[in-house]
Each structure stands twice: as C-alpha cells, then as structure tokens.
Amino acid sequence: MTDNADILTITHSASGASFAVHKFGATVISYKSKDGRENLFLSSSAKLDGSKAIRGGIPLVFPIFGPPTDAGSTMPQHGFARQNMWTVKDGSKHDSDEHAGISLSLNLADASAGRGDGNMWSVDNVKKDGTDCRLTLDIKVDGTSLTTILIVENTGSDAFNFNCLQHTYFAVDGSAAQDPTKCFVHGLGGYSCIDKIDSANDGKVASYDEDIDLTPGEVDRVYVHEEKHSALGVKIGVGEGKAIKMESMGEVDESPVPVSCVVWNPHIKKAKGMGDFTDEQYKDMICVEPGLLGHQPLLNPGKEARFTQIIFA
Ligand code: TA6
C-alpha cells in the first residue's frame, strides 16, 4: 500500500510551475504550468494505493509495449516499470533559477511486481539469466516546459532488447476531446499508421494536410517513424484556443533512434469497461505517447539508452 508520502510535489520557485510524481511507477501525475493550468489528465477513479498502474499522468512503459508476445510470458501489459515502487535518488531534488526537479530509480532486483515468469524477460524467446538493468527517471520543470528522461542502463552480462514509451495523458479543457477544432494532433504527416481499430486505415501513411482527431470514436493507433523522423515533434490541441507542443527523442548507446507515437482515446464502450476511469472521462483526455517501439539495437552490457519527452505548455 502507498500513502500521500509517496506523492512528491516539486515547484520551480522562479516561475511557479510545478509537477507531482508518485513513487509508484515513478508516475508523474500532475504538471501545472506557470499559468496554473493542469496539463495532465488523471482519472478521478485512478488507484493511487499501488494496487494497479495509475490511470493518468505519465505512466512509464518498459520493457514491453502492449501484451507480452513471448509464449507463456506472465509479464503484464506494458511491463513492470509502472507496477513497482521507485526510490528517490539521494540529493537529486533541486530548485534553482533554471529549473526544479528530482530523479527516481528502480533496479530490476527491486522490481517485485510484473516481472513476468521468473526472469525479467526473454530476448528473442531465449530466457537470459544474465539480464539485469537499472531504470532512472530524471524529471525537471521550468517556466516553459516539463522534461522527463527515462534512462535504461544494462547492468547485466547479457544484451537485451526492449520497448519503452511514455504513456502521456493530456488534459483537454471543456470536455472537448471529440471536437476536432479543439482537440487534435498535428505533426504526424508521413508516419505510417498501425490502426488497431479501423482496418481500413491500417497501414496507411498519415496525410500532411490533415490533423489526427478523435471524431472516429475509439482511437488506438501507433504512428511509426520513418527513417527521416528520428525525433518526434507534435502540436496537440487540448481545448478551446489551447495547444501544447511535445517533443521526444531517443538514443541507444549514444546513437539516435527513431521515436514512434501512439494516439489513444477509449471512447464510450472502453471507458465503461475500465474500473479506474469514469464513463464520461473519455471527453476530457487524449493520450499522445512517444515511444521507442521499433527494432532499435540491442542494449549491450554496460551501455545505456536515454528516452526524452519534453512538454511545452
Ligand atoms: O495507449 C495505447 C494502449 O496500448 C491501448 O491499447 C490501451 O490498452 C491503453 O494503452 C491503456 O492500457 P492500460 O494497460 O494502461 O489499460
């Protein structure tokens, strides 16, 4: 069980901007820009007691995105990172004129939940005994942005592959998520789309002329990078006359890797089926989720991957 002591609020005194992070999953559950707006959506029914992944904010997805693909794996959907208590890195909490922030970390050895069957995960279906890793989330806020950097260190003796994603829930003002003039994603033109709901759209390349919106109802799409799109940069409409920019970049062993982008809204039916989400809240949010979901290189022993999301609000 967790309690309010597990929710840390960090304020950038120079600007008044702030964030709150729950040690459970190192889940950022609030980002208030200097104008006082809450930019992240947190379900009013979200579990904050450690009983399940937090429904809202920025849940961290690692080492798998989606359900496990290894036959017989018992790892939960989206992996174990968001299902365990992280630890604050000593001395990391700071508040300077430039920015305020804190860092949290999770060693695989301390991940008690969601590790899957026995080992951390297999690599190409081969169980690896020498697999080990440390996750660190560096979070900082200033007068214009919130930055979250997920660092994956291979602390074991075996290389491993992984997916990771920041499952960001953006708050939409005025329950306007389904209004295409107020809620949209601009900047995914040229990305190819894996559409989990509409087979007619599956495999199509997104137009440069049309923004993505939530008028189709339930939207669950992965926009896959093209080689030329190594970093992600999108503008997200989040209500009447309000738009947020989000940028994301990744590197594995210091080499840039392409960033994909998931767009998700559960709409009516799926909303009713989620116990930690009220029936109407699909109108108040849009998930726009940067992820390293491609076949990036294996992470070799002693090397690290860095995956950054910057929200400008
Ligand atoms: O956001 C993409 C997605 O994979 C959707 O398919 C939906 O399952 C969503 O994540 C939420 O997943 P969760 O495990 O947090 O309920």
Q: Where are the domains of the chain?
A: 7-312
Q: What is the mean pLDDT of residues 75-101?
A: 96
Q: How far is the CA of 253 from the centre of ligand 1 (A)?
A: 28
Residue of 41, 167, 285 best suited for mutating to test ligand 1, as the one with most atoms within 8 Å of CB:
167
* Structure confidence by residue, pLDDT tens digits, 204-254: 999 999 999 999 999 999 999 867 557 999 999 999 999 999 999 999 999
Q: How far is the CA of 66 from the centre of ligand 1 (A)?
A: 7
Q: How far is the CA of 91 from the centre of ligand 1 (A)?
A: 34
* Percentage with pLDDT > 70 across the chain: 94
Q: What is the pLDDT of residue 121?
A: 63
Q: How far is the CA of 301 from the centre of ligand 1 (A)?
A: 30
For domain 7-312, which CATH number applies: 3.90.230.10, 3.40.50.11030, 2.70.98.10, 3.40.50.1450? Answer: 2.70.98.10
Higher pLDDT, 115 or 201: 201
Q: What is the pLDDT of residue 72?
A: 74
Q: What is the pLDDT of residue 282?
A: 98
Residue 172: band (very low, low, confident or very high) from pLDDT cuts 50, 70, 90: very high
* Structure confidence by residue, pLDDT tens digits, 58-69: 999 999 999 988
Residue of 77, 212, 262 best suited for mutating to test ligand 1, as the one with most atoms within 8 Å of CB:
77
* Structure confidence by residue, pLDDT tens digits, 291-303: 999 767 899 999 9
Round the average pLDDT of the chain to a whole number and report it: 93
Q: Which atom of ligand 1 is nearest to the CA of 289?
A: 1
pTM to 2 decimal places: 0.96
CA 312 to chain centre: 15
Q: Is the pLDDT of residue 74 over 90?
A: no
